């Protein structure tokens, strides 16, 4: 899986990339292939905004999170993506 992370206002450090990869690793429990995950990090004057689009066999996952701390924004985004994935998986079972 190739992970695409982009930002115009800041450099993507290895620590940021590792943190995002760790959050995506939690989705392995769903046993789904994540297709072309793309994260966009936007630095606001007082906060960070993180957008994500991820394809999956069940449907596309799209989420946005904003927080004063970048790592908390990534964690919030991962929670939203996981909730969407659970909803799609339950929908598929019916």
Residue 23 has a pLDDT of 93
Token look-up 């620590």 returns 15
DSSP 58: T
Domain spanning 4-93, CATH class: alpha beta
- pTM for this one? 0.90
Q: What is the C-alpha to C-alpha distance for residues 85 and 69, in angstroms, rounded to an integer?
A: 24
| Confidence (pLDDT) at 30 | 82
- For residue 53, pLDDT over 70 is answered with yes
Query: 8 or 44: whose pLDDT is higher?
Result: 44
The domain locations on the chain are: 4-93
């Amino acid at each position: 899986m190739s992970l695409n992370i982009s930002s115009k206002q800041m450099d993507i450090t290895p620590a940021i990339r590792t943190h995002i990869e760790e959050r995506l690793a939690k989705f392995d429990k769903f046993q789904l292939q994540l297709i072309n995950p793309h994260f966009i990090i936007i630095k606001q004057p007082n906060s960070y905004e993180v957008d994500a689009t991820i394809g999956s066999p069940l449907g596309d996952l799209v989420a946005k999170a904003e927080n004063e701390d970048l790592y908390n924004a990534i964690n919030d985004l991962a929670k939203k993506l996981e909730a969407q994935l659970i909803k799609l998986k339950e929908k598929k079972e019916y």
